[in-house]
Amino acid sequence: MKRIASIASFLLLIALFAPAQTLVRFVPEKKATNQPFGRGKIEQTGTDFSHRVRLELPGKTRLLILKPSPIKQYDSILTSAGSRPSTVDFFEASAPNQKYYLATINKRFHTLLMIEKGQFYSVEQTSDSLFSYQNITPDSSITRLCGYDKPTDPKPSSATNRHARLASSCLEFPVGFVCDSAYYKRFGQNMAQFEAANLLRLAASQEIWGPYAFDAPITFKAIGHIIYTNPADQPWSTDSQLPLSRIWGDFHNTYEKPAQWNRYKSLILVGLTGTNYGATERDRNTWGYAGGARNEHRMGTVCLKGYIEGISMRWLFAHELGHIFGAGHDTDGAYVMSDSYPNVSSIWSRTSKDAINRTLASLEDRKLLNECPVMNLTYAIRKDSLELAWKTNYDAIEDSFVVEYSSDDQKTWRAADQIKSKKSFSYIYSLPNKLSLGQVAHYRIRQQGFNSLISNAVVVGILGVDHLPTTTTEVVVYPNPVSNQLTLNSPTPTALTVYDLLGNQIHRVSALKNKHIINTSHWNAGLYLIRFDANPEQVYKVVK
């Protein structure tokens, strides 16, 4: 694809039609030799991460359309002194073969996890306030030991349609983090930093779990953090001579979780310690331990020595979650469940897959599975009104639904109305259609209650076949939003060029007749600019 010749002209188009965006740029150290990776500083312009963020890394630029990640499902954290607001925001963006997770603290960039074509990359702050940009795809550098409490292997279900039912669902497991005071001290008492670190660990683990062929997609959501800031108030023994397996046993069997966590079914508890427990060298080199309970109140428990390097910790976390789901250690290859990670990979062995699938079937038998919350929104334009219809698979009587709209391409959202739940799982809402000719607006539904859930956004525009102007003295572009075919009418022959928001030329017509049709079926979802070489020049914005 060709790049716009006039950068100034394109920047003008962006200024006119695109909302202001936040810029995050990684600037490598001058002495760095292993480009594009290495250490450097972050330059940030703007503080709005809730919409469009331009990410500039050595050799690549990404325009991310971010949204709040469903992985973070809480607004405050618990400490020994009580509750305090979380200052961490957690976002995600996705595209074919790409996934991005981004954490901010007080609206400043903190950490990025990128998954592109099966490779994992991260940008994260180091102890000296610089940032490290690196490829963190698992390799032989991880050599930590891990242990687990071997559970009773669930027997395969006799129901022949069990896996078919699972395959039609997405499954979600809640995760609660518990951090002792030694962990708190190792992070310099910066609770926001290790809160963000834990969210990135969970996101990385989910990406290791998500793409693989279990009988249902598995996702995780963080429902809270408990941070023991007072050394006299601890979730487990502080005797450093005890092995990690003993610490896990105390945590698993005697820890009393907070009352607000009791409402979550099949909860996974994750304990992080800053103490290197163990009396023997092997015990001190055992960095993780896990085991399952698999009952209504507890899916299982993980204990991790939380101070090991970030790369190792993320893969160790995914490994220990495997134990909770019934997978044992693999000893005959480089897999996620290798017992000492001599040559770790993100591949699940057939043995591990079978064990995890049997666990899912057993949980299905006992109705202990949580389906991922989903809400789908559609719309219809009536004569004088706009009709919004949505369906959700979670609907409690104490929930509410907020109708939100955006007139600036999803940069800001405003509430139009709020509807109380009727526990009907399906709703239709009508509002006056006040859009003028050529105006585009976005609508979405925010569900408030047990799950913090946001629907897909629908794009509503009044420039379709039924809304064409009756005169022929102006350029007409329709329909907008477009699906598979875009029609352009011009009163006089002219040339036109179509650009995406990165400045790539994706279509060019040198001599447009009065009517021209463009096949847009291969366009990616997003915003496009159409420039007509008329006098004066005309630019139109089209949404796919």
pLDDT digits (tens, 9 = 90+) for 173-199: 999 999 999 999 887 778 999 899 999
Would you say residue 10 has pLDDT above 90? no
pLDDT at 246 > cutoff 90: yes
- DSSP strands (E only) in 46-195: 52-57, 60-65, 67-68, 76-79, 82-85, 88-95, 98-105, 108-116, 119-125, 131-135, 145-149, 171-179
**Residue 534 CB coordination number (10 Å):** 16
| 347-381 pLDDT, tens digit each | 889 999 999 999 999 998 888 888 888 888 988 87
Mean predicted confidence (pLDDT) in 474-480: 74
Backbone angles phi, psi at 160, to 5 degrees: -75, -20
**pLDDT at residue 541 above 70?**
yes
pLDDT at 249 over 90: yes
Contact 60, 90 (CB under 8 A): no
Show Cβ contacts of residue 96 under 8 Å, excluding neighbours closer than 6 positions.
none
What is the rounded average pLDDT of the residues 96-124? 92
The answer to whether 62 touches 121, Cβ cutoff 8 Å, is no
| % pLDDT > 90, the chain | 37
- How would residue 304 be classed by pLDDT, with cut points 50, 70 and 90? very high
pLDDT band, residue 203 (cuts 50/70/90): very high
pLDDT exceeds cutoff 60 at 234: yes
* Confidence at residue 148, expressed as pLDDT on a 0 to 100 scale: 56
Q: Which residues pair with 91 in a beta bridge?
A: 68, 102
- The 10 Å Cβ neighbour count of residue 102 is 26
pTM of the model: 0.75
Question: Going from the N-terminus, what domains does the chain have, and what CATH number goes with each?
Answer: 22-69+93-136 (no CATH), 171-370 (3.40.390.10), 373-462 (2.60.40.10), 476-543 (2.60.40)
Long-range contacts of 466-474, Cβ-Cβ distance < 8 Å, separation of 24 or more: 467/437, 469/437
Stretch (H or E) spanning 441: strand 440-448
Q: What is the mean pLDDT of the chain?
A: 81
Q: What is the pLDDT of residue 168?
A: 52
pLDDT at site 138: 67
Q: What is the pLDDT of residue 173?
A: 94
Q: What percent of the chain has pLDDT over 70?
A: 82
- Spatial distance between the Cα atoms of 71 and 205, rounded to a whole number of angstroms: 11
Residue 83, Cβ neighbours under 10 Å: how many? 13
Question: What's residue 46's pLDDT?
Answer: 92
Q: What's the pLDDT score for residue 14? A: 37
- If one compares 458 and 123, the residue with the highest pLDDT of the two is 123
Check residue 244 and give its pLDDT. 94
pLDDT, position 11 = 34
CA dist 530 and 514 (Å) reads 16
φ/ψ of 295, rounded to 5, equals: -125, -175
Q: Which residues are CB-contacts of 63 (< 8 A; sequence separation ≥ 6)?
A: 21, 52, 53, 54, 55, 501, 502
Confidence class for position 12, pLDDT limits 50, 70, 90: very low
Strongest mean pLDDT among 152-166, 174-188, 304-318: 174-188
pLDDT attached to residue 146: 52
Say which residue, 439 or 427, is predicted with more confidence: 427
Say yes or no to pLDDT of 21 above 90.
no
